[in-house]
Structure 1
Amino acid sequence: MFGEDADATSFGRQDFLAFGREYGIDYRFPDIDGEAPAGDATIARGRIDETLLPSGFRFTHSDLTIFHSYESISLGHAPLLMVIVLEGCVRLSIGAVQRELGSGMAVSLQLRPEFALAAYQPAGQRLETVVLAFDPGAPMLARSEQGSLRALLRGVQDPVVLWDLPQTLRAAIEQSLLTHLPVLQKTLVLEGLALQLAGYGLPEQVQAVGRRSRASSQEHQRLEAVRQRLEFAPTEDYSLAELASRAAMSPSGLRSKFRATYGLSVFGYLRKCRLNLAWHYLEQGYSVQQAAHRSGYRHATNFATAFRRHFGVSPKNVI
């Protein structure tokens, strides 16, 4: 585990890669990747402390000075993952879903193996975060608690929710991190904080379907699974028959119910997700052709036409 000592620790590329192998995270270092290794450059310096709590939450606090930008890509699984930024900036993305977190901001999401979560940490900043991940298979978790928490999380239908950290809760987090306590007391304090964070940041459980949709609650859940797949993995090739099979509907049923629920056709929604993703790549400095291919378009000319129709500007004009 990083940061077991009280003093700040320097973390190089090899330290991050070792951490990634343990937790299933792929790290990339755009500032120095491709350079001839002249020793292990220091990526960050500071502390990373991790505590596994009896409720099944893994509480990770990191306080780092970032010297070289790095990106972490996770394909793991967590019914609930919360990222809270106390200081600094983190950019998160899952497919076409992009979120930028600044100080005092948080995001709650469901981490799934089929959808890669990418987090980009820019250089030249002090970055302090708390990451709370629920592990339903944690050995410390009581069976009764496991069942109730897992049942609660199964009802969550909104996969990514951005929220502001209440000032009182932020103060409680900072105070607990500054206070030196024996292991048992620290675990109890962090347990209480984890449950409060889950209470504030747990996405709403949506039972009712929007007024425009005639779909039943179960049908809505299947439609939402299709929508999330399009948004989280927009670069894949899809057919209406395949998506209808996933939703346990006929192709005509999926076509009409998807439009009634979300206001767009299935492939109109996919096009919107791909174009939003392309805009993100263009903002990062990719060429029009690179952005087109990275967002699922085979031909840059078709992409440029769709982009102008959707946004009203040429992709060449995106800064």
Structure 2
Amino acid sequence: MGNEQELVRVGELARRLGSPVRLAEQGPDQRPLFQGRLSWQQLRSGLSLHCSDCIELHDFSTQVEVSPRLSLVLFMHGDGQAQYDDRRLQVAPRPGRPEGLAIALTEPATFTRQAHAGQHIRKLSICLTPEWFESGGFDAHAGIRRLIEPSQHLALHRWTPTAPLLALAEGVMQQDAGSDLLSHLQQEVRVLGLVHGVIEQLAGEPARPLRQRPHQQRLVQRTLELLHSGEADGWSLEQIAAAVGASASTLQRQFQAAQGMSVFAWQRQRKLQQAHAALQGGTSISEAAWQAGYSSTANFTTAFRRQFGVTPQRVQKFY
């Protein structure tokens, strides 16, 4: 998806988004709007992929006319303020808690999005047109038909970013949109895997995510509160489990089911989020690495880039 330091300018938006774009504010075509990675890829007829992993450089809003489609969106980082015609959309994923959303459009609509200077956006969007469903005969499926029938125009559906879906999404985000056949096929396979998992949830067959009972939900909530407090920093899994009243195996299983990742993977993401905020406040890279639990700035930089799509140096330089 390009170099992480790449500047995306006004005149390049249509190519990057796959559609003509209107910018509400007037300005020269060479004015940079984003820094990072922004791409659009047509994988096959009726199936396209849009990936964003960038920092917004100004306050601005864009408008795009979109045709009927089912959009499957995974928000990983950043505050999503947008609307389709008059239907407002507000998404703000918390650290370690990506949000999945499906938006059904059964007639053309105007998509408007508000950007904010300094905000880091990380998300992917898969667009499936009615022609794509028809070409595979999928529109005859009762569960899918309920998602794309005319009465569903502007309907919003939540879906659960399970661990397997998140792994596929990370693979999609990290692969460059190469033009060679093998890269294209590899990306298409990942995207179709995401489509399968999400539509399986939305169409209701079967419900894969584990349904947690109230006491299991309370266990996960107690764990999250403990981790958020910072008191458990440096603790072993057994110590954390004892503090919330569970065995280590039970805690790991229930936490993985609810959060889509292990306890320590969640902890790593939380510490990297704190390091990101510290860098914005002027903290040095070595200090931020230490706060995040890394003795090596090189290892910290690798983990930071994997999480946010930009290096600590880039965040520090921008702020």
The two structures have a TM-score, normalised by structure 1, of 0.50
Rg comparison, structure with higher value:
1
- Structure in which a larger fraction of residues adopt helix: 2
Instruction: Tell me the TM-score normalised to structure 2 length.
Output: 0.50
